[in-house]
A and B are shown apart, each in its own frame.
Chain A
Amino acid sequence: LAKTTQPISMDSYEGQEVNITCSHNNIATNDYITWYQQFPSQGPRFIIQGYKTKVTNEVASLFIPADRKSSTLSLPRVSLSDTAVYYCLVGGTGGKLIFGQGTELSVKP
């Protein structure tokens, strides 16, 4: 099972772009990379998923280099409501999705 490493916390200001990088050196060929967001007193919520290169949706972008040993979640122009914990997960078909400690993002005015 691929283990992930991400910063414990990050600070940002409203309107800035935030990039959270996750390391997963032991990622397997069949593994996908998924990011979840969790607000206090709520369960995690799916943000984005990718296998390689770049994926973009209405919320975020996910950049994955060719070696797939890391990935970067990019949040454009964050607002106060983006303050949350962000989890990077690696897993594939039928596999176990393991949450790490996550990155606590604090967005300030």
Chain B
Amino acid sequence: EAGVVQSPRYKIIEKKQPVAFWCNPISGHNTLYWYRQNLGQGPELLIRYENEEAVDDSQLPKDRFSAERLKGVDSTLKIQPAELGDSAVYLCASSLTMQWDEKLFFGSGTQLSVL
């Protein structure tokens, strides 16, 4: 069974440029998460989707970040314009439900470098 698939694996851009990350969750998983992980730190939740509805986006910097999950499957996270401080690994995860045994399955992430 395929796991969570993310692309691209690496992305290098100049500041003020836009960038987008794509995530395909595990088939049948209703809940999808985007995390950002800075070097040496634990992942930080940006947004969580239940099907196509964003149920928690309190940590998403809405002035430059946007996300969508059309049809409740794939998701895209966008940054426009990117800043130097956005350099990090962006992780996507999915889980079957939001119930108590909330086991998250993570992708390998997209490593973003903003120059």
Chain A interface residues toward B at CB < 8 A: 30, 32, 34, 36, 41-46, 49, 87, 91-94, 96-102
Contacts and interface: CB of A to CB of B under 8 A. Distances in A.
Interface size for chain B: under 10, 10 to 19, 20 to 34, or 35 or more residues? 20 to 34
Q: Is the interface of A mostly helix, strand, loop or mixed?
A: loop
Given A99-B42, A102-B42, A46 B100 contact: no
Interface string B85-107: 00000010100001111111111
Q: Is the interface of B mostly helix, strand, loop or mixed?
A: loop
Contact of B45 (A32, A94, A96, A102): A96
Contacts, number: 54
B41 A49 contact: no
A85 to B, nearest CB: 8
30 contacts: A32-B100, A32-B101, A34-B103, A41-B109, A42-B106, A42-B108, A43-B107, A43-B109, A44-B43, A44-B91, A44-B104, A44-B106, A91-B102, A92-B100, A93-B98, A93-B99, A93-B100, A96-B45, A96-B56, A97-B45, A97-B102, A97-B104, A99-B35, A99-B42, A99-B43, A99-B44, A100-B42, A101-B40, A101-B41, A101-B42
